[in-house]
Amino acid sequence: MISTRTAIRATAGTILSVLAFAGIARAADGEVSAPPRDARTMSAVELYMLYQDRSWQWSDGAGRMQSDGRRFTAWSGSGDKFAWAQGRWTVNDDGLMCMVAQWHSASGSGPDRTCFSHKRLGDTIYQRKGPSGSWYVFKHASHVAGDEFNKLVREDLVSGQLEKLGPAKKPSQEAKSNRSKQS
């Protein structure tokens, strides 16, 4: 005969396994093991509408996704650790939004590509940093104060910081114009 304690453990284990398999088990910080199976990959159009002409606030900076030319600009850090970037942001029908940019700092410059995968179920959006980050709820169906989505704002949080660099350190309008003519 199975004891009550053993039966409860077995039932709890089964329930947790089912929840984890369905992608519903959540950590306290909003992380999910995986989006629900019926969540669908977001389209390029949906991603474009989500990110266009928005700044993404970070703990120590921001990135700006402009619709004009899909231009991406960003800044991060302060003092000797200040860095800025210029490049493009891209979206595709595989649910991927990428920021591809040349980052510049006091110690030099180099290219970087950061991508995020997106899935949607109803009005809930799931996101993970590629290629192997953990899934989390980016935007809940109902407003949740801690959602990362709330850090996407219409205000331009980047241009003012880049203006402070002065003409010697930021790309000039002339340089941008010359690049356009070469294309």
3-state secondary structure of 88: strand
3-state secondary structure of 47: helix
User: Can you tell me the mean pLDDT for 102-118?
Assistant: 95
- CA within 13 Å, CB half, 27: 10
Q: Distance between CA atoms of 164 and 71, rounded to whole angstroms?
A: 19
Q: What is the pLDDT of residue 165?
A: 76
**Any bridge partners for residue 19, and if so which?**
none
Q: What is the pLDDT of residue 35?
A: 93
pLDDT digits (tens, 9 = 90+) for 37-66: 999 999 999 999 999 999 999 999 999 999
User: Can you tell me the mean pLDDT for 70-94?
Assistant: 95
Chain CA centroid to CA 115, Å: 7
Token pair of 125 as six digits: 């959006």
Grade residue 79 by pLDDT with cuts at 50, 70 and 90: confident
Q: What is the pLDDT of residue 30?
A: 61
pLDDT digits (tens, 9 = 90+) for 133-174: 999 999 999 999 999 999 999 999 999 989 887 654 555 443
Q: What is the mean pLDDT of the chain?
A: 80
CB 32 within 8 A of CB 116: no
Q: What is the pLDDT of residue 32?
A: 76
